[in-house]
Structure 1
Amino acid sequence: MAEKWLVGVDLGGTTTKMAFVTTDGDIVHKWEIDTDLSNQGKNIVKHISRSLQETLHRLGENKDRLLAIGIGAPGPVHMETGMLYEAVNLGWKNYPLKEELEREMSLPVAVDNDANIAALGEMWKGAGSGARDLICVTLGTGVGGGVIANGQIVHGVNGAGGEIGHMTMIPSGGAPCNCGKSGCLETIASATGIVRIAKEKLATSDRQTLLRPDAVTAKAVFDAAKAEDALALEIVEEVTFYLGLALANAANVSNPEKIVIGGGVSKAGNILVERVTTHFRRFAFPRVAEGAAIVLATLGNDAGVIGSAWLAKTSLPA
Structure 2
Amino acid sequence: MEYVAAVDLGGTKIAAAIAGLDGRVLGRGVRPTAAGEGPGPVLGRMVEAVQEAAHAAGLDLGGARAMAVGAPGPLDPEAGVVLESPNLGWRDVPLRDILAERLGIPVRVENDANLAAYGEYRYGAGQGARYMVYLGIGTGIGFGLVVLGRIYHGATGNTEFGHMTVDLDGPLCGCGRHGCLEAIASGTALAREARAIVARRPDRLQPGETPAAPLVFRLAREGDGEAQQVLDRFVEALGAGVANLVNGLSPDRVVLGGGVMAAGDWLLERVREEARRRAFGAQWRATEVVRAGLGGDSGLYGAVALALDTVQGR
Q: Distance in 1 between matches of 2:26 and 2:38?
A: 32
Residues 210 and 126 (structure 1 numbering): CA distance in 2 closer, same or farther, change over 3 Å? farther
AA aligned opposite 2:214: K
Moved more, 189-198 or 17-26: 189-198
Alignment correspondent of 2:300: 305
Alignment correspondent of 1:216: 211
Q: Quote how far apart the aligned CAs of 1:188 are.
A: 0.8
Question: CA contact under 8 A between 2:27 and 2:57: conserved in structure 1?
Answer: no
Moved more, 42-51 or 290-299: 42-51
1:93-172 alignment, distance < 5 Å: 93-161=91-159, 163-172=160-169
Alignment correspondent of 2:24: 26
Q: Which whole-Å deviations, capped at 9, do the CAs of 1:89-123 have from their partners, x for residues lacking one?
A: 32321111111111111111111111111111111
Q: Which whole-Å deviations, capped at 9, do the CAs of 1:280-306 have from their partners, x for residues lacking one?
A: 112222221111111111212211111
1:1-318 alignment, distance < 5 Å: 2=1, 4-37=2-35, 40-53=38-51, 55-57=53-55, 59-63=57-61, 65-161=63-159, 163-172=160-169, 174-200=170-196, 211-212=204-205, 215-316=210-311, 317=313
Q: Distance in 2 between matches of 1:220 and 1:143?
A: 20
Residues 196 and 46 (structure 1 numbering): CA distance in 2 closer, same or farther, change over 3 Å? closer
SS of the residue aligned with 1:10?
strand
Q: Quote how far apart the aligned CAs of 1:274 are.
A: 1.2
Question: CA contact under 8 A between 2:18 and 2:54: conserved in structure 1?
Answer: no
Q: Distance in 2 between matches of 1:54 and 1:270?
A: 35
Q: Which whole-Å deviations, capped at 9, do the CAs of 1:139-166 have from their partners, x for residues lacking one?
A: 11111111222122221111222x2211
Q: Distance in 2 between matches of 1:65 and 1:40?
A: 29
Q: Distance in 2 between matches of 1:202 and 1:57?
A: 46
AA aligned opposite 1:121: G
Q: Which whole-Å deviations, capped at 9, do the CAs of 1:227-266 have from their partners, x for residues lacking one?
A: 4443333222111111011111122222112211111111
Q: Quote how far apart the aligned CAs of 1:49 are.
A: 2.5
AA aligned opposite 2:78: E
CA RMSD of aligned residues (A): 2.4
Residues 202 and 33 (structure 1 numbering): CA distance in 2 closer, same or farther, change over 3 Å? closer
Q: Distance in 1 between matches of 2:234 and 2:10?
A: 26
Residues 199 and 16 (structure 1 numbering): CA distance in 2 closer, same or farther, change over 3 Å? closer
Q: Which whole-Å deviations, capped at 9, do the CAs of 1:215-234 have from their partners, x for residues lacking one?
A: 53211222333344433332
Residues 261 and 211 (structure 1 numbering): CA distance in 2 closer, same or farther, change over 3 Å? farther
Question: CA contact under 8 A between 1:188 and 1:239: conserved in structure 2?
Answer: yes
TM-score normalised to the size of structure 1? 0.89
Long gaps (5+) in structure 1: none
Percent identical: 36
Residues 182 and 97 (structure 1 numbering): CA distance in 2 closer, same or farther, change over 3 Å? same
Moved more, 242-251 or 212-221: 212-221
Q: Quote how far apart the aligned CAs of 1:8 are.
A: 1.3
AA aligned opposite 2:304: A
Q: Quote how far apart the aligned CAs of 1:57 are.
A: 4.7
SS of the residue aligned with 1:43?
helix
Moved more, 151-160 or 47-56: 47-56
AA aligned opposite 1:196: R
Question: CA contact under 8 A between 2:26 and 2:57: conserved in structure 1?
Answer: no
Q: Distance in 2 between matches of 1:258 and 1:58?
A: 35
SS of the residue aligned with 1:147?
strand
Moved more, 140-149 or 238-247: 140-149
Q: Distance in 2 between matches of 1:210 and 1:128?
A: 43
AA aligned opposite 2:166: M
Residues 58 and 170 (structure 1 numbering): CA distance in 2 closer, same or farther, change over 3 Å? closer
Q: Distance in 2 between matches of 1:222 and 1:66?
A: 44
Long gaps (5+) in structure 2: none
